[in-house]
Amino acid sequence: MSEESELKFATGKPDDFEALDPAMKQALGDFKGSVHAWSEAMMSRPRAARKAVVRRTWRLAAGAALASVLIAGAASGGLYEHHHRQELARIAAAQEAAHQRQLAAERARAEEDLLAKVDSDVSREVPSALEPLASLTNDDETTK
């Protein structure tokens, strides 16, 4: 067959279709009928509708990235707040310690002043008769 007759045979009836053997015509007719029947059966059968799944992985990735940013922000905010409170507590403790040292120093000065006053009030001068003895005691203490 030539290209033109092959094209006509594929698209419809060839020129010499009538010249074919009646058994061949019957076989081709049966084949054509079975193909049409099969196509009709396939088109009319019940089908389950499927939902088209659209992949949006970029949305999933963006959601995961946003979630991780939010979690990291919340965690770092909490850590910063904790650190800030620790620093304030450390500063307050240092100020309290300085205040306690200042109060202790003032108390010590007040005690020293009170003891000096009591010492001056209680002490008396050495009588003149015992003056040589007092000078010996003072000399012995200095020589030690």
How does pLDDT run across 110-120, given as a tens digit for each residue? 999 998 888 88
Q: What is the mean pLDDT of the chain?
A: 81
Q: Rounded to an integer, what distance in angstroms lies between the CA atom of residue 144 and that of residue 139? A: 9
Contacts of 61 (CB under 8 A, 6+ apart): none
pLDDT of residue 13: 59
User: What is the identity of the amino acid at 57?
Assistant: T
List pLDDT tens digits, range 50-59.
777 777 788 8
Please give the model's pTM, rounded to 2 decimal places: 0.38
